[in-house]
Amino acid sequence: MNAPLRVRRKTVVADGVVTLELAGGGRVKDWTPGSHLDLVLPTGLTRQYSLCGDRWDSGHYRIGVLREPGGRGGSAYVHDELDVGDEVGVGGPRNNFPLVPSPEYLFVAGGIGITPLLPMVHQAELLGARWRLLYGGRHRASMAFLDDLEAHGDRVLVRPQDEHGLLDLAGFLGEPRPDVKIYACGPAPLLDAIERVCAPWPPYTLRTERFVADAGEPARSTPFEVELVRSGLRVTVPPSASVLDAVAEAGVEVLSSCRQGTCGTCETAVLAGRPEHRDAILEDHERAAADRMFVCVSRSLSDRLVLDL
């Protein structure tokens, strides 16, 4: 955990969306487009928010927070209680959604999913890459940062659902072709749809960031064993417990934050066995390598996993 920061500015930027500027006494840590920050609220809740400010301004971070009525209280606290001058704990930044070099980028944002894509747009612009952005939301007033994006003219397609209906993903992306990277962030139905549309594109073209891991039922309903090589322990993980909780019970603490398979904090090296990946972070080829897992949500396909713990 880093030194706490203070809320320097809080701004309503759209219906249900505020931005916070967080600053300490000096430089904040460097970050790259796609990074998120762990915000540790005075209530003890920890939440992850994408950085959406100017990475070259090292004096503060900026995050965007959507009020989520059905959420677990983090966004409500930020909207209703957190004020300018208040102190918050921070962890990170950490990047599970890095922008890889490409001559052309296609960005697709749904709602608050615009936040990690804003710095990517700026980076693509700086690098002189070709890029376009398709940005959807429920209605125009709920869509943050439209002013910032206006300067980019017709490279940005703003498509509120009440004016245009569902996003025309196939029309925006065009024919499958090499030398393009597609970055998408938004609600699960949008990301599921773009995964379907991108199926014929070359492997690794699409990279998505999900707000929640949605892996369905675990593959096995029976206990499995984890062998912790550095601790010299064998721990049985019952169907009712996560690997994280089972090893903690045995006295081995793994750092965690979101406990939902989205932040990356609990990443653990796998030395043998086949993990069942249930996170929202790893790409398919990273999953196939079976050399690491996020123990807050991921489980095991094999009877035994050997972990570097």
Give CA–CA dist 82/70, Å, rounded: 19
Closest approach of ligand FES to the CB of residue 122, in Å: 27
92 is a site residue for ligand FES (CB under 6 A): no
Angle at 127 between CA 263 and CA 93, to 5 degrees: 20
Nearer Cβ to ligand FES (1/166): 1
Options 256, 268, 278, 299; binder of ligand FES; rule CB under 6 A: 256
- Contact between 259 and ligand FES per CB under 6 A: yes
| Contact flag: residue 296 with ligand FES (CB under 6 A) | yes
Binding test (CB under 6 A) with ligand FES, winner from 52, 190, 226, 258 = 258
Rounded least distance, CB 269 to ligand FES, Å: 14
**Interface with ligand FES, residue 261, by CB under 6 A:** yes
* Chain residues 142-181 in contact with ligand FES, contact rule CB under 6 A: none
Nearest CB to ligand FES, comparing residues 75 and 256: 256
Q: Tell me: does residue 257 bind ligand FES (CB under 6 A).
A: yes
48 burial (CB, 10 Å; 0-12 / 13-18 / 19+) is buried
Scanning residues 45 to 84, which ones bind ligand FES (CB under 6 A)? none
Q: Which stretch binds ligand FES (CB under 6 A): 61-69, 170-178, 215-223, 260-268?
A: 260-268
Question: Is residue 266 part of the contact set for ligand FES (CB under 6 A)?
Answer: yes
Is residue 265 at the binding interface for ligand FES, with CB under 6 A as the rule? yes
Closer by beta carbon to ligand FES, 181 or else 299 = 299
Least Å distance, CB 153 to ligand FES, is 38
Please, what is the minimum distance in Å from the beta carbon of residue 75 to ligand FES?
Answer: 17
Q: In 10 A of CB 213, how many CB atoms?
A: 18
CA dihedral 9, 65, 56, 8 (to 10 degrees): 20
Residue 55: name the closest of 112, 107, 104, 125 by CA. 125
Binding site for ligand FES (CB under 6 A): 256-259, 261-266, 279, 294, 296
